[in-house]
Amino acid sequence: MMLSEQAIKRRLRDRDSGLAITPLLDSTQVTEATIDLRLGPDLVVTRRETGVVAFDPARTTDLAAEIGQYQTYLRRPLGSAFYLHPGDFAIARSLEYVTLPDDLSAQALGRSSWGRLGLVIATATTVQPGFRGTITLELANLGRVPLVLYVGVRVAQLALHEAEGGPSSRRFHFRSRIRQA
């Protein structure tokens, strides 16, 4: 069952609920059934001219290290612009630190205002119960025009769902790899 605005706010106000979206800079971020998330200050961009034919997990012992050679970490202050050109891909994180209790899961979704411009914000959308950290956003510009994203702009939304059955036997404990909170 998806949580409504009132249910979300009730949980956020309850200091023992285990649900936290912090900092929530504006209460209007809680909409009818989702919570808007803002673009955080840390970005990882993949350089265009890598000279790499393919990233093939079958042909490399350390795919992450190989990919890392072609990525650049950027940090931008609040309100500054980041240009995402057509075809470009960047990894970002939400400004907010999210904590989910064991009885809630979430889905990270794009906002339709950005979707209409060609921005995809997430390719791995499910956030597991018990999650703690910032939400990783995989940004891709599928349009034909560069998009200007600003650190702090509302770029994604989180839909919360009740999860039945109690905590997982595998305790989920994740932190964003871009820059640890």
Residue closer to other proteins by CB (options 24, 67) is 24
* From candidates 3, 76, 121, 137, binder to other proteins by CB under 8 A: 76
82 interacts with other proteins by CB under 8 A: no
The tokens for 153 are: 């702009």
106 interacts with other proteins by CB under 8 A: no
* From candidates 35, 37, 92, 97, binder to other proteins by CB under 8 A: 97
Q: How far is the CB of 57 from other proteins (least distance, A)?
A: 28
Q: Is the peptide bond between 129 and the residue preceding it cis, with omega within 30 degrees of 0?
A: no
* From candidates 112, 144, 145, 169, binder to other proteins by CB under 8 A: 112
How far, in whole angstroms, is CA 57 from its chain's centroid? 24
Residue closer to other proteins by CB (options 20, 67) is 20
125 interacts with other proteins by CB under 8 A: no
29 interacts with other proteins by CB under 8 A: yes
Rounded to whole angstroms, the Cα distance separating 40 from 80 reads 11
25 interacts with other proteins by CB under 8 A: yes
* From candidates 6, 60, 72, 113, binder to other proteins by CB under 8 A: 113
5 tagged catalytic: no
* Catalytic pick among 5, 32, 66, 138: 138
Rounded to whole angstroms, the Cα distance separating 59 from 50 reads 17
Site for other proteins in 136-175 (CB under 8 A): 150, 152-154, 175
Residues catalogued as catalytic: 138
Interface ranges with other proteins (CB under 8 A): 12-16, 18, 20, 22-29, 31, 36, 38, 41, 74-76, 78-79, 95-97, 99, 111-113, 116, 132, 150, 152-154, 175, 179-181
